Amino acid sequence: MKQWYYALALTAALGACQQKNEDKQQADSTAVAVAPPIDLSNFDTTVSPCEDFFQYVNGGWIKKNPIPETESRWGSFNEVYERNQKILKEIAEKAAEANAPKGSNEQLVGDFYASGMDSLTIEKAAPEWVQAELQAIEAATGKEELLQQWIEQKKNGSRAVLSLFVMPDEKNSEQYAIYIYQGGLGMPDRDYYLKEDEDKQKIREAYKAYLTKLFRLSGSDETAAKQAAETVFGIEKALAEASKSRVELRDPIANYNKMSVEEAEALAKPFSIKNALTLAGAAQAKEVIVGQPNFLKAVARLWQQTPVEDLKLYLKAHALNNGAPYWHHEFVQAHFEFYNKTLRGQKQNKERWKRVLATVDDGVGEALGQLYVQKAFPPEAKAKVMEMIDNLQYAYEQHIKDLDWMSEKTKEEALKKLAAFKRKIGYPDKWKDYSGLEIVRNNYWQNVKNAHRFEFERQVKRLGQPVDKTEWFMTPPTVNAYYNPPMNEIVFPAGILQPPFFDPNADDAVNYGGMGAVIGHELSHGFDDQGRQYDAEGNLRDWWMPEDAERFKERAQALSAQFSSYEVLPGVKVNGDLTLGENIADLGGLAIAYTALQKALEGKERPLIDGFTPEQRFFISWAQVWRTNAREEYLKQQVLVDPHSPARFRVNGPLSNLPEFHEAFGCKEGDKMYRKPEERVKIW
């Protein structure tokens, strides 16, 4: 599915089985000791701040915080996550014991959690669950019935064939539209299928072994399972060859192709888009937005040329993969071995209760979120963040007005967009209505499927309706933040409003270097290489004077080149084009937050704290947000699929461009963190 919002950290959010993360604490029985805003014991003073600022601020912390066996990386996001997990566990366990009224938040959370923790029932029932999924696909007698099974699996959460979803129309942000996007792969990216380096070849063999294991666990003998795995891999490789790269997917104009349903039908024939939409409950759709027409053509060719029995194997593989994290222990272990151990280097699976909590958050996150904010979100935090956003927007306004490379006409449009930014803090003003969602106490897999189907059908029902501007795309207990282009909004869940990001008891410098830079980061996403293409109303529209757009691209390309020079591991470098939007947001966010800090400090005393000036503490605060230990496997995957640069370069990269940083720490020519004025990139 298209990434509709630009998050602070893609790998840091609480929910679904592979990608989500963290949250919030308050003084109660689950509270833990909170470290000082800046802990000097985390420093490595053997390193000069002008040589490697990330190591200088975080070297001590890295040394005393090895990666736990259950993690592929360990950092500040994980620390917050662990604090928050204790609160969520207490909430879920209490809800599970409450015998709450059907449909209440407590019942949805409690029964979902209890069903996932009931391992004895899962172990006993899972073989029947598995066979039920396979038998439905096997019963199909032709490709029309297989299309129906594909939609059924799609409703259950499967990623087979392609993505089909409803979101605001990017060129008419007041209305919902149905999107058809590339997908259908079992591995995270097309490059895992196509690159011929030794590392990818090993991963491909591990993936085939995983597919073989899935078929073996579902009843096939070894020979049949291996053949099935080869068949599935061949289909996925063909889809990979037709897929755009992650960099190509970052072009919103090229990936917006609105057409009538009849035109899409002709493009995809004999894979019937009309029938698929009818089966999905979207028969009323008159138009669709096809992200990648050539991919849809490739699906059509595959659907036509591939024998029915091979397509069945493909759909079965995706059904098995979709259910594996929730079934009996052999499926769970097989899924872990490939996706977490092979791809990310994780040594042990997380405890069951953490995995179940993540699933609950993914399925009924706003029910869990309501219980969470009642317990753990102080209202005063919202007011403080509102004040910070006011200051950051004012600073951004000044920066735009002072730009020497942008014409007055484009500035006028940029300021209009900035003024139109909507903000959401903590939790939704209007909570999601889960009426009609059936959650039972004794069938975990059915609950997972019901939650997926509820969300799929909720989306489809919105077609033809005005866009709900109150909707959130992260749950309240998430340690992350995002900018959403079609709604032109910045969103900060309750989970991120805590140390080290935000501390109401810390000095301004720490909060502006942490939460202030996070706010600036999300504001800057509205003006990065993708976000800048959306106007104040959230519509994909070119509001730039041509010469200004060219000047922007020149600066953006220089930043891309800087980051592409950073070596993460021997022979492995950052992809500056893939990470460009996040790098622009980091650089712009820091520059804006620094200006906002100076405004906040006006008329105040500026004492040294821990021996550091406010300016120094500002930059230290940013660096400690990104303290991270990561396994090699994790870093290799991050560089390939994640639009965020590795943590070290999110610190050192933008700071090397800021003269304010050089001045604060006395960095000079010859120091590694120093860039000559003519080599620095300044966009916002």
Known catalytic residues?
Answer: 522, 586
Tokens standing for 454? 């509820």
User: E strands along 76-197, which residues?
Assistant: 162-169, 172-182
- Whole-angstrom distance, CA of residue 28 vs CA of residue 427: 21
With beta carbons less than 8 A apart as the criterion, state whether 146 and 303 touch: no
For residue 95, what are the contacts with CB-CB under 8 A and spacing of at least 6? 105, 106, 107, 109, 110, 113, 371
For residue 42, what are the contacts with CB-CB under 8 A and spacing of at least 6? 57, 58, 59, 60, 61, 624, 627
Q: Is 537 exposed, middle or buried (0-12, 13-18, 19+ CB in 10 A)?
A: middle
For residue 79, what are the contacts with CB-CB under 8 A and spacing of at least 6? none
What phi and psi, each to the nearest 5 degrees, are found at residue 446?
A: -65, -40
- Whole-angstrom distance, CA of residue 376 vs CA of residue 23: 10
Bridging pattern class, strands 6-7 and 482-484: antiparallel
For residue 372, what are the contacts with CB-CB under 8 A and spacing of at least 6? 23, 24, 87, 88, 91, 476, 477, 494
With beta carbons less than 8 A apart as the criterion, state whether 337 and 455 touch: no
For 520-547, give the DSSP string.
HHHHHHTTSTTGGGB-TTS-B---S-HH
Q: Is 483 exposed, middle or buried (0-12, 13-18, 19+ CB in 10 A)?
A: buried
For residue 278, what are the contacts with CB-CB under 8 A and spacing of at least 6? none
- Whole-angstrom distance, CA of residue 232 vs CA of residue 208: 9
Tokens standing for 261? 């349903």
- Whole-angstrom distance, CA of residue 515 vs CA of residue 498: 9
- Whole-angstrom distance, CA of residue 93 vs CA of residue 85: 12
Q: Which residue has the tokens 């390309």?
A: 557
Tokens standing for 682? 């300044």
Number of H helices, E strands in the chain: 26, 12
- Whole-angstrom distance, CA of residue 116 vs CA of residue 100: 18
With beta carbons less than 8 A apart as the criterion, state whether 162 and 293 touch: no
- Whole-angstrom distance, CA of residue 178 vs CA of residue 345: 37
- Whole-angstrom distance, CA of residue 632 vs CA of residue 640: 13
Tokens standing for 47? 């390193």
